[in-house]
Each structure stands twice: as structure tokens, then as C-alpha cells.
Structure 1
Amino acid sequence: MKRYKEYYVPIFFLILSVLGIIASKASLNFILGELYDRFVRNEIFLLALIFPIMSGMGINFSITIGAMAAQMSMLFVIDIGFTPKLGFIIVILLSTVLSIVFGNIIGNLLNKAKGKEMIASMVIGFLGTSLYQIIFMVAYGTIIKPFNKDILLTRGIGVKSMLDIGEFKDLFNNILSIKIGDVKESLVPVIIIIIMGIIVHLITKSKIGYRMNAVGEDMYLAEKVGIDVDKTRKIAIIISTILASLAQIMFIQNLGILNVYTGHLNLDIFASAALLAGGATFKKANIKNAFIGIFLFHTLFIVSPLVGQNIFKNPALGEYFRSFIAYGTIVFALMINLKNVERNT
């Protein structure tokens, strides 16, 4: 039975998803269309969590910093007024550079908080959000003079809470088009995600991936055999932050709207929950967990409002039911993982 314990959480989510689909009475086309959008918007976030877990740091809740790097880069491009194609490339390059800088800072901080990385990364995420909001609520329009004043609030200070980036959303239109459900979509984002998955897999099997695994298993033993533990952990966080920034670019591009102040909130929680739903633990995570988890968790997330509405005959209760199911299953996944950790110690 021990060899099947890693499948307990995915099986639980699979059962809930099947029951949810039946109870929701949702059409297959509707579910497939929603799953496409959620896969494109969220999958790379799950990939971003793998390397810190491999390195023994648990779930990296500071991936929100990477998402903020992407939002800052997108705001810069909108402010300057680059064309969508050139702007998209600049966003990727700029967010990558910012992510390397931020990831290096986060890595140094987490190296000083060994054994408490998950709590520390959560606090870092909150601190980063506060600084980010101060910059764009107060500094923009006062200290920072924008080129495009249309992005400012009517008082001339602070960026608008929501910006339309529909031109970026249309970038992949009519390129490798395919009908998913009732909607015509492009395969380009899916191909990008698959390529990113292959890159992540290759890194896990490379020399640095071996070092991350060694550090995750026993950092003191790894240090004795000549592995630079702090540097390895820092590299894991930098890669994680870069992937999170790329994930947020995919999210923004697919949505077609930039939520300046709230676009990065809770993405760490839902990415973590989806990865756990795929069978990952605080000590072990891989590509398989990321791809299984995204479909199981988000299928449940799609149908749960409809389930609540059908059972209670009240649309408002449907949203409460969604929150109950989502957070309830997160707690269940965490309990199972904590129980397994206790048994192994």
C-alpha cells in the first residue's frame, strides 16, 4: 500500500471532479473551453514551484514577486507605447532580468531562514506586494513621470487599477487555430507550455538538478561532498522566480486585461493547491504532478459554482460552495502531506 500513498490526493480530487461534473450538469464543451484557459494561465506557475521543493525549501510562496516583475514590465511597455509584437518580446526580456535580480535577493533571504522557508517566502510575498502597491499607487505620477498619462487615475497620481491590453491578447489569433469546446483557440500557448515543461524536466535531470535533489535530501551531507548549498538553493529560487514571471505574462496575455494591483494575489495559493492535488508533497514534486494537478484542481474549480447553484438553487451560494470546496480540498491535501512528513521523521 505504501507505493500507492502518493496517489491518495489525486484520486480524491479525481473522485470529487467526476462527482462535480455530474452534479453541475455542465456540457463537455464548456468544461474543455474553461480548462484550456486555466491551463494556459496557470500551468507554468506549477512548474515554478518544483525547483524550490526539490531543494528542500518547500512551497515557494514568493512566486508572487515574479508575477509582479511581469506586471511591472507590462506597465513599462504600455507606458512607452511599444507595438504588441515588439512589446511582448520586451516584456519577456525585462521581466526575466527583474526576476533574476529579485530571485537573487529572495534566495539570500531564504538562505538566512533555513527550516522556515515557506513562512519566510510568504512574508516576502506580502512585503513585495506592499512595496509594489506604494510604487504604483503613490510614486507613479509624482516621483515617476509617465510617458502615457492615460494610464493614470484622473487625479494624476497612481496607475488605474485595470488596463486594457486587448492587442496583446490577439497576438496568437489565427496561428495554429484549433476548436476547443465551443471556442476557437490557438495551439501556440500550449506549445510554449510544453516546451517550458521539457526545459524544466531537462533541468531536473541535469547536474544542477542533481545538486538540488542532493540538497533537498540532506543539505549537511550535500555540503560535505562539495556542493555549495546556499548557491544551489539560490539558483532554485531564481529559476522559480523567472518561471513565475513568464507564467504571469501568459496569464495576462490570455486574459487581455492587466489587473495592476490584484493580478498577482492568491496565485501562489492556487498554484500550490493544484500541485498538491497532482500528488506533490513538501519534499517531492515533478512534472507529472504539475500536469495532473492543473487539470484535477481546475476542473473542480470550474464546476463547483454550478454544483452549489444546482444543489441550493441559489446563484450566490454557488460561489460560497466554490470557496468551500477549493479551500477544503487544499486543507485536505495539506493534512495528508503533513501526516506523511510526520511518519517519515
Structure 2
Amino acid sequence: MKFDKKKIGPLLTGSVVPLMFLIISIIAIPLSGYSGGFLVDQIITRLARNSFLVLALLLPIMAGMGINFGMVLGAMAGQIGLIFITDWGITGAPGLLLAALVAAPIAIGLGYFCGVVLNRAKGREMVTGMILGFFILGVYQFFLLYMCGNVIPFKTSSLLLSKGYGVRNALNLGVAKGFDKLILININGINIPVGTFLIIGLICVFTVWFRKTKLGQDMRAVGLDMSVSDTAGIAVDKTRIQSIIISTVLACFGQIIYLQNIGTMNTYNGADQAGLFAAASLLVGGATVTRASIPNAIIGTALFHLMFIVMPMAGKNITGSAMIGEYLRMFISYGVITIALVLHAWKRQKDKDMERHSFQLDMEKQASK
């Protein structure tokens, strides 16, 4: 039986990061001392909490825009919606749905702005999206610190700072576990929030369906080659903006799902890390900045958070210091992600060299004829 190197090479390159995370986790699990039941419960909880945010990154990658670090704009919109419904005193799943309705128009506006900016920075979308997130974070903090309670009236004074305006640094959410408790199953002490997983299943179905639509096919074409797509009559800039708008709105919903699972909200710094952790989870699943799938998102979320659970305790049990355990977690996690990006860049360069070499051979053959 002969092995096809052309097929095996990309398979190994795409699987090396998940395999590295899996091997490191398998080594760290017995060192951590955690039971299997505890780890399963934690992985299920974190899948329900984080998967939606990771899945929100898929469409911009398909459109050739790389990882949408501008998704933090959608996360900020989701937090604004949660702040308003907390002030209005609406709890449970209805409160979460209302928060999504309030936040969606804000997310659409921010997504459009982000898409317009990224169209001005073609080829540098990821770093531009990251810097844009820092800029909008300043606007977001100004809005919460000076507008809320001052220009925008609040009924609940306990949400405001002592000076009478500005939202407090941390809020307890009345909508905590709103989706998780819709359908909650307990199996041998392991809680499975079926309601939240059904919502995550909906975005998976939506993503699969959307790829088959006219707009989805246009996004895929734009991701493959913008110049050819433009020649074929596809509105390239408009299509790219639409992909960012959808991603931003999905990130808004994802942040709402994330925070309802936690039950509390860090008002001013709760959204700025959403893009980084979601991107890291996606890359851990074997995705690249040009290709990503639903399995990449789900597997990556599970592996990334498994590492986050076991490494600190494993490091503490080995060294006797919790600080060293936390250092090992950050060092190994982001070190492996760095390797993933380096391997992707190396593979792209190698593919270009092979295409160039093949083109040169074809030209020599034509010249010899």
C-alpha cells in the first residue's frame, strides 16, 4: 500500500496542534489529581459557555479575512444589552432574549463600521481588527462611565457608582443560567445544559446552511480570490462587510450566552479578551487563518479549556507553587498556538514555492517543444 505524500502532509500539518494539546493534557491529567467525572463536568460546562463565541469566527475566515478580532465589538454590544435588562429587572430566558434584541442593532452598526475599516486594510485585517477593538473599547467605557445614569436614566441605583452615574465594575446578572436551566439534565452528578447546547446546535445548522446560499458561495469565492470574484461580478467589499456584520452579531449573542453561564459580568474588561480566547480555541482545533470548520471550533474549545483546567493543578503538584502552575498553563498553551501559526506560515510558503517550481517546469517543457 502506497501513501500519498501530498495528502498525508497537509493532514499531519493540520493535526499537529490538536495532537500536541491532547498529548500534553493526557500527561497532565494524572498529575493534576482531578477525577474523570470532574473533568467531564468542567469540559461540558466550558463547551456550553464558549463554543458559540468560537463558532462566530468561521464566516470571516471563509471570506478570506482571517480571524475576526473585531468580534470584541459584538461582545461589547452584548454586554450593553445585559446591563439594560438588568436595570429593567427582567430575569431568566426572556431577559436573555430581550438583551439579544437590544444588543443586535448595536452589533449590526458596529459590525458595519468594522467591515468598512477592514476593507481599507486588505491583507492586514487581523491586526487592524485587534486595534479597532481597543479603540471601540474606549468608546464603550466612556459610554458606561459617563452616559449611563447621567444622560441615560437608570431605575436601579445599585447598578451605578456612588457618584450617581457610571455603571459599577462588576454586576450580578439576574439572567444567570437562563438558557442553561431551560433543559438541564443531571447524569451521575454531571450537569448537561441541553438548552444551551440546542442553541449552539442552531448556529452549527445555520453555518452549514449559510455556506450553501448565494451569499455564502460569494463569501467563499471572495476568500479564494478577490480579483477573480470582482471580475465575476461579485461585490467584493459588500460581501466582506456582510461577513463581518454576521460574525459581530453572532459574537454579541455568544457573549450573552457566555455571561449567563458565569452569572456575573466584569463591566469594563469582560469583552476585551473574548476575541483572543476564541481565536486560540479555534487554532488549537487545527484551524488556520484561511481554513476553519465546525469540528475545529468544537474540538479546539474542548482541548484548549482542558489544558486550562489541568495545567495549573499539575504544575502546583509538581513544583508546590500555584504561580508556576499558572505560568506553565500560559506558556504551553500560547507556545503551541505560536507553533500553529508558524507551521501555517511555513506551509503557505512551501506551497507557493512548489507552485512556482511547477510553473517553471511547465514553461521549460513548453520551451523545449
Output the amino acid matched with 1:144.
Answer: I
Q: How far has the Cα of 1:271 moved from its partner?
A: 0.8
- Seen in structure 2, the aligned counterparts of structure 1 residues 29 and 267 have a Cα distance that, compared at 3 Å, is same
Q: How far has the Cα of 1:172 moved from its partner?
A: 4.5
Contact 1:32–1:181 under 8 Å retained in 2:
no
C-alpha separation between the residues in 1 aligned to 2:119 and 2:220? 16
| Superposed CA offset, 1:286-332 (max 9, x none) | 11211111111111111111111111111232222222222222212
Flag structure 2 segments of 5+ consecutive residues without an equivalent: 1-7, 353-369
Q: Which moved more, 1:138-147 or 1:153-162?
A: 138-147
Q: How far has the Cα of 1:52 moved from its partner?
A: 0.9
Contact 1:80–1:147 under 8 Å retained in 2:
yes
- Seen in structure 2, the aligned counterparts of structure 1 residues 291 and 335 have a Cα distance that, compared at 3 Å, is same
Residue of structure 1 in register with 2:116 after alignment: 108
Alignment match of 2:81 (pick from 73, 86, 97): 73
TM-score normalised to structure 1 length: 0.95
C-alpha separation between the residues in 2 aligned to 1:176 and 1:84? 13
User: What CA RMSD, in Å, does the superposition of the two structures yield over aligned residues?
Assistant: 1.7
| Superposed CA offset, 1:46-72 (max 9, x none) | 111111111111111011000000000
C-alpha separation between the residues in 1 aligned to 2:181 and 2:276? 34
TM-score normalised to structure 2 length: 0.89
Residue of structure 2 in register with 1:304 after alignment: 311
Q: Which has the larger radius of gyration?
A: 2
**The residue matched to 2:271 in structure 1 has which SS?**
coil
The percent identity for this pair of structures is 38
| Superposed CA offset, 1:216-236 (max 9, x none) | 111000110111101110111
Q: How far has the Cα of 1:75 moved from its partner?
A: 0.8
Contact 2:31–2:314 under 8 Å retained in 1:
yes
Residue of structure 2 in register with 1:328 after alignment: 335
Q: What is the 5 A alignment of 1:1-150?
A: 1-4=8-11, 5-150=13-158
Alignment match of 1:155 (pick from 155, 163, 169): 163
| Superposed CA offset, 1:200-221 (max 9, x none) | 1211232222111111111000
C-alpha separation between the residues in 1 aligned to 2:194 and 2:172? 23
Q: How far has the Cα of 1:248 moved from its partner?
A: 0.3
- Seen in structure 2, the aligned counterparts of structure 1 residues 223 and 34 have a Cα distance that, compared at 3 Å, is same
**The residue matched to 2:185 in structure 1 has which SS?**
strand
C-alpha separation between the residues in 2 aligned to 1:177 and 1:84? 14
Contact 1:33–1:180 under 8 Å retained in 2:
no
Query: Which consecutive segments of 4 or more residues in structure 1 shift more than 6 A?
Result: none
Output the amino acid matched with 1:42.
Answer: N
Q: Which moved more, 1:91-100 or 1:175-184?
A: 175-184
- Seen in structure 2, the aligned counterparts of structure 1 residues 53 and 19 have a Cα distance that, compared at 3 Å, is same
Aligned length: 344
C-alpha separation between the residues in 2 aligned to 1:180 and 1:17? 24
Q: How far has the Cα of 1:113 moved from its partner?
A: 0.9
Output the amino acid matched with 1:270.
Answer: F
Residue of structure 1 in register with 2:230 after alignment: 223
Output the amino acid matched with 1:304.
Answer: M
| Superposed CA offset, 1:212-267 (max 9, x none) | 11111110001101111011101110110011011101011101112111211212
Output the amino acid matched with 1:316.
Answer: M
C-alpha separation between the residues in 2 aligned to 1:180 and 1:259? 32
Contact 2:92–2:179 under 8 Å retained in 1:
no
Output the amino acid matched with 2:9.
Answer: K
Output the amino acid matched with 1:152.
Answer: L
Structure 2 residue 288 is matched with structure 1 residue 281: yes
C-alpha separation between the residues in 1 aligned to 2:250 and 2:257? 11
Q: Which moved more, 1:201-210 or 1:120-129?
A: 201-210
Q: How far has the Cα of 1:169 moved from its partner?
A: 1.9
Residue of structure 2 in register with 1:164 after alignment: 172
Output the amino acid matched with 1:295.
Answer: A
C-alpha separation between the residues in 2 aligned to 1:254 and 1:180? 19
Residue of structure 2 in register with 1:191 after alignment: 198
Contact 1:274–1:297 under 8 Å retained in 2:
yes
C-alpha separation between the residues in 1 aligned to 2:350 and 2:223? 18
Output the amino acid matched with 2:43.
Answer: L
Alignment match of 2:183 (pick from 160, 176, 182): 176
Output the amino acid matched with 1:342.
Answer: Q
Q: Which moved more, 1:28-37 or 1:316-325?
A: 316-325
C-alpha separation between the residues in 2 aligned to 1:252 and 1:181? 26
Contact 2:180–2:193 under 8 Å retained in 1:
yes
| Superposed CA offset, 1:145-183 (max 9, x none) | 322221011122321111111x31243465433226744
